[in-house]
Amino acid sequence: MINKLKGIEERFVKLEHLLSDPAVICDQKKYQEYLKEHGELNKIVPVFRVYEGLLGELKEAKEFLRDDDPDIRSMAKEEVPSLEKEIAELGSRINVLLMPTDPRDAKNVLLEIRAGTGGEEAGLFAGDLFRMYSRYAESKSWKIEIIEKTDSSSGGFKEVVSLIRGKGAFSSFKYESGTHRVQRVPETETQGRVHTSAVTVAVLPEAEDIDVEIGPTDLKIDVFRASGPGGQSVNTTDSAVRITHLPTGIVATCQDEKSQHKNRAKALGVLKSRVLDAKIREEDAKRAADRKGQVGSGDRSGRIRTYNFPQGRMTDHRVGLTLYRLDAIMAGDIQDIIDELKTFNQAQSLKEIG
């Protein structure tokens, strides 16, 4: 590991020289590439330098254990365990930093929320989850934009698709994919009985042109009039757009904008993200046997979380995390849940690395 870290440090120093080279500065594409690489290595190198310094101190302290002076031996005896503990902690941190990063982590997020079993109550909870995620995104100063939605008659959503723009958005949202179960007494329930409903959440990294190639002949584009709840017409022109990716059958629709051009651009962006997601899920399925311990980022078939309102409890079933502060969670305070999932996934990855 030390040799690998020394190699990283040498590359870091070389990048510092390159970034001050006038020829590189004039080539903005190359400059940005080097700047990005330097930023990534800057997370590791300072920690390694502290680690290396502590190793030197430990070596020196162990030499003092053989000193003729009993006072020096006594001080060294106290210092060695402290240094060893510090080195072990930094070593664990370095192992995490050396883990391969998910290239999708920095991407924007396409967040899809759909009401499942439970009728109108599921639609209401879909709206609650959308608000929870929106408030979390706002706390990170990320922008959220609704791409497509179908309102339910009770005031929630049958489905809502939104784009969340912000650095690192996917790294935070990627563990939210799956079935979210809610247990509470619906407003229409006169007997006070607790009902169970479900909502599915899909989190997709926003696709860029370099991520997926879609040719013009791969697309079927239909235009139609936008409509509101219950089919009520809300537009007198064919502004809504439906795009079908013929090779996969994947469909994306957008009718949120009054302009057909804007709806087409949004729908195409959603379609590219869904095609990329299908590709990623296919690749992940091939590696599924090696990743059984990880919480994953795309399994939408399993129940991942339960929100129990009578008890004020949230339980994430993948990591066994239970919190009794449901009001705060529904208000967007979900960072500690995300951190717990990240930590679990890192621990499993370290086991795989060995």
Q: Which two tokens stand for residue 36?
A: 């990005």
Task: Tell me the β-bridge partners of 203.
Answer: 111
* Cα separation, 61 vs 102, whole angstroms: 40
* Cα separation, 274 vs 181, whole angstroms: 24
User: Tens of pLDDT along the chain (354 residues)?
Assistant: 788 889 999 999 999 999 999 999 999 889 988 998 898 899 899 999 999 999 999 999 999 999 888 999 999 999 999 999 999 999 888 887 877 677 788 889 999 999 998 888 999 999 999 999 999 999 999 999 998 889 988 889 999 999 999 988 999 999 999 999 999 998 767 677 899 999 999 998 887 755 677 887 888 888 887 765 444 445 556 788 888 888 888 888 888 777 888 888 888 888 888 888 887 777 666 555 444 444 554 444 568 999 999 999 999 999 999 999 999 999 999 999 999 998 888 777 766 655
Q: Which two tokens stand for residue 9?
A: 């440090």
Looking only at the bridges linking them, the beta strands covering 109-115 and 195-205 are antiparallel
Please, are residues 159 and 112 in contact by the beta-carbon 8 Å criterion? Answer: yes
Q: What is the pLDDT of residue 137?
A: 96
* Cα separation, 282 vs 215, whole angstroms: 21
Q: What is the pLDDT of residue 284?
A: 63
DSSP string over 190-217: SS---EEEEEEEEEEEPP-TTT----GG
* Cα separation, 346 vs 354, whole angstroms: 12
* Cα separation, 274 vs 317, whole angstroms: 26
Please, are residues 148 and 256 in contact by the beta-carbon 8 Å criterion? Answer: yes
Chain position carrying tokens 């939104």: 162
Domains within the chain, CATH numbers bracketed:
2-98 (no CATH), 109-210+297-353 (3.30.70.1660), 216-284 (3.30.160.20)
Q: Determine whether 245 is exposed, middle or buried from the number of CB atoms within 10 Å of its CB (0-12, 13-18, 19+).
A: buried
Please, are residues 95 and 128 in contact by the beta-carbon 8 Å criterion? Answer: no
DSSP element (H, E) containing 123: helix 120-139
